Chains A and B, each alone.
Chain A
Amino acid sequence: MKLIVYDFLHLFFSKHNLLTFKILEGTRGTKNFITSDSIASISSIFHKDIELLSKGLLYFFDQNDISLFNRLENENHDSLYNNISETFEMFPPAIVVLPEFLEPPELFRNLCKKYQIPLIRIAEQPDILKKLITIFLEDRFAPSMTVHGDLVEVYGMGLLITGESGIGKSEAALDLIRRGHRLISDDIVVIKRMSGNFLFGTGSHIAQHFMEVRGVGIINVPQLFGVAAVREKKRIDAKILLEEWNLSHKYDRLGLIDKYESILGIKVPVIVIPVRPGRNIPGIIETSALNLRLKLSGINSAQTLNNILVKWMQSEKNIDL
């Protein structure tokens, strides 16, 4: 995964349209690649933290770095210059970002000019700016995968509907939309693992809210059902697997034991729904979404029923004795 500095600036500023920026030095370096989502600090150059340094990092220059810089410059100007140029040659940075009102030291400016490293000042407070960049880069560099299926929001739960082609994923999603639930994406779902260990699903940028319904053709969901019927992205809470009813397969009858699957290393509950003519799949998906919410709030219906039964049997036994 690589991100060109030019694209970074373009995307970052179109996302946070309040910000303005100024390229102080190194205009030619806007073709550099950012290769990692970690933000490096200028002080790691002085500390010679080789493990922290690599090619194509985004550096953040803050007030502490300026103080450190001035102190070192007073001590020994030439050694500081050599030290930094050595590091810049070994591990060329992709971009150096400064927060508002911060004036970079003359020496550093010259070095950026020499190695054509974009030195960019963004009009935003240091803390907020660092946070915004962190979130942006994490989002861009998050591990992701593409899945064949539908992502819908049912009663607030993000459900990833999967199954073999022709099993009726799109039809189930369509019926859910008609019942007032929301479509995030049909056919192609892009899943990203976000920090905080959860999965986010979205669609392809080109045709996110279009659907292909066999027999009807292409439909435009927000135009047909209203903008409330769609969503851009949604956290994935569970996977629904639609499966052809197989007599030899034993389907869950109780729901006492939960099944899980690993998607991008994150544990996701899986609900297997056998499909057979006459089964109301959207209705079952709606119910499983509600039951999942109930389980998350600590109420397991199967467990409750079992407890009642066990209690009842024990009391009957007591009478018998």
Chain B
Amino acid sequence: MKEKNVTILLPDGIHARPAAIFVQKASSYPDTSIKIKRNGVEVDAKSIMNIMMLALTHGSEITIVAEGKEEDKAIEELSTLVNNNFNI
């Protein structure tokens, strides 16, 4: 199991569009379970509604947790995605 902390840099926070981009990326690792932790709440990173429920604003700190075959690659790519402002 791998964990990594990242900070949301998007000025508007994670609204529908970045949430969809993140979920799409996370879903491309079918053999890896990916979760997002924030303030003790853990949600599935492959579900749009779960991520939107967190209402992640600018400056929120989250922990990406991955477990499975491609955990290293998944963590690396997802944290890069967050740091690059979801390529928007």
Chain A residues within CB distance 8 Å of chain B: 247-248, 250, 253-254, 256, 302, 305-306, 309-310, 312-313, 316-317, 320
> Can you sample 28 A-B contacts with CB below 8 Å?
A247-B28, A247-B30, A248-B28, A253-B20, A253-B24, A253-B48, A254-B16, A254-B17, A254-B20, A256-B16, A256-B17, A256-B20, A302-B16, A305-B52, A306-B15, A306-B16, A309-B15, A309-B52, A310-B12, A310-B15, A313-B13, A313-B55, A313-B56, A316-B55, A316-B57, A317-B13, A317-B57, A317-B58
Contact A313 B16 (CB under 8 A): no
Chain B residues within CB distance 8 Å of chain A: 12-13, 15-17, 20, 23-24, 28, 30, 48, 52, 55-58
Q: How far apart are A276's CB and chain B's nearest CB, in angstroms?
A: 13
Name A's interface SS. Answer: helix
List the A residue with the shortest CB-CB distance to B24. Answer: A250
Q: How far apart are B49's CB and chain A's nearest CB, in angstroms?
A: 9
Q: How far apart are B60's CB and chain A's nearest CB, in angstroms?
A: 9
Q: What is the bound-complex CA distance between A268 and B48, given in angstroms?
A: 27
Q: What is the bound-complex CA distance between A306 and B51, given in angstroms?
A: 12
With a cutoff of 8 Å between Cβ atoms, the chain A residues found around residue B20 in the complex are 253-254, 256
Q: What is the bound-complex CA distance between A313 and B56, given in angstroms?
A: 7
Q: What is the bound-complex CA distance between A312 and B55, given in angstroms?
A: 8
Contact B48 A254 (CB under 8 A): yes
Contact A253 B58 (CB under 8 A): no
With a cutoff of 8 Å between Cβ atoms, the chain B residues found around residue A254 in the complex are 16-17, 20, 48
Q: What is the bound-complex CA distance between A309 and B30, given in angstroms?
A: 28
With a cutoff of 8 Å between Cβ atoms, the chain A residues found around residue B55 in the complex are 309, 312-313, 316
Q: What is the bound-complex CA distance between A317 and B12, given in angstroms?
A: 10
By CB atoms of chain A within 10 A, which of B15, B16, B30 has the most?
A: B16
With a cutoff of 8 Å between Cβ atoms, the chain A residues found around residue B30 in the complex are 247
Are A313 and B48 also in contact (CB < 8 A) when A253-B23, A253-B24 are?
no
Contact A305 B57 (CB under 8 A): no
List the A residue with the shortest CB-CB distance to B13. Answer: A313
Contact B58 A305 (CB under 8 A): no
With a cutoff of 8 Å between Cβ atoms, the chain A residues found around residue B23 in the complex are 253
Besides A254-B20, A306-B15, 9 other CB < 8 A contacts? A247-B30, A253-B20, A256-B17, A256-B20, A305-B16, A310-B15, A313-B15, A317-B58, A320-B57
